[in-house]
Amino acid sequence: MLILGLTGGIATGKSTVSGFLSDNYHIPVIDADKIAREVVEPGTLTYQAIVEKFQPLIPELIDSSKKDAPLNRGALGAYVFTHKKDLKKLNAITHPAIRKKILYLLFKNYLNKEPVVILDIPLLFESGMDWLCSRTLTISCNPEHQLKRLLERNKELSEIQATDRINSQMQLAEKVKQSDYSIFNDGNLEDLKRKVDEFVHQNLPALQVNQNCGWSYTISSWWNWFQVMFPPFAIVGAVCALTRKMFNKSYA
């Protein structure tokens, strides 16, 4: 299974691209932002840990008059994106649960024999989850477009708050440098769609696209067949791939 790690800065167009890939090529998408919302729902251990840690700092974090009140994400975001140390603490609480769910969904897709899965993670490199990916793709754009799109989408954010969110992430240029492929999303939505189509046809040649009824997959080498027939060899293959990635990274 080819795992394509999709990343970029906030509001650079990741979800728009994963939407195209899912709608037009029927590729399953694992969306880390969506998972990040699920793992903090009332009743979860992550929710409890966040309330214990952050309610003393953010009194409006939950509506205490209601049982199982959801987190006030706006208030939590406004606080953590201006307090770097606390953002790290929030990440330390949420990321293990997000990682666990991602691994579970990857395994489920593997059992479903999906040839390609998109892993849409804004913090792909920051969290080190790029090691799981066969290939990585960064969606970037210039800073003016990024700020404009973020302010248009999240109308509740002031320009200062939006800039804080952008600055809390790894620089876009660094993400582009670390990734195998990048798409520069500076045109309109039609331009973006065309670039995504070009990307698929140029970089995913092992897959034969049938846009009407999804992907059909050709297992190209004897080694791939072998791994499908004897799963322990797939595990050895995965360990070798991870070791190779680690080695390449430390010498990059």
203 within 8 A of 135, measured Cβ to Cβ: yes
CB of 231 to ligand COD, least distance (A): 29
- CA-nearest of 215, 175, 190, 246 to 2 is 215
Q: Does 169 bind ligand COD (CB under 6 A)?
A: yes
Name which of 152 and 190 has its Cβ closer to ligand COD.
152
Residue 59: exposed, middle, or buried by beta-carbon count in 10 A (0-12, 13-18, 19+)?
A: exposed
Q: Does 123 bind ligand COD (CB under 6 A)?
A: yes
Residue 8 binding result from ligand ATP, ligand COD, none, given CB thresholds of 5 to 8 Å by partner type = ligand ATP
Residue 76 binding result from ligand COD, ligand ATP, none, given CB thresholds of 5 to 8 Å by partner type = ligand COD
Which of 55, 94, 134, 163 is in the footprint of ligand COD by CB under 6 A?
94
Name which of 188 and 250 has its Cβ closer to ligand ATP.
188
Residue 153 binding result from ligand COD, ligand ATP, none, given CB thresholds of 5 to 8 Å by partner type = ligand ATP
Please give the residue ranges that form the binding site for ligand ATP (CB under 6 A). Answer: 8, 10-16, 33, 122, 149, 153, 185, 187-189, 192
Q: Does 58 bind ligand COD (CB under 6 A)?
A: no
Q: Does 150 bind ligand COD (CB under 6 A)?
A: no
Instruction: State how far the alpha carbon of 20 is from the alpha carbons of 143, 183, 190, 192, 208, in Å.
Output: 23, 14, 11, 9, 17
CB of 122 to ligand ATP, least distance (A): 5
Q: Stretches 60-68, 88-96, 191-199, 244-252: which one binds ligand COD (CB under 6 A)?
A: 88-96
Name which of 83 and 195 has its Cβ closer to ligand ATP.
195
Residues forming the site for ligand COD (CB under 6 A): 10, 32-33, 36, 73, 76-77, 80, 87, 90-91, 94, 98, 121-123, 165, 168-169
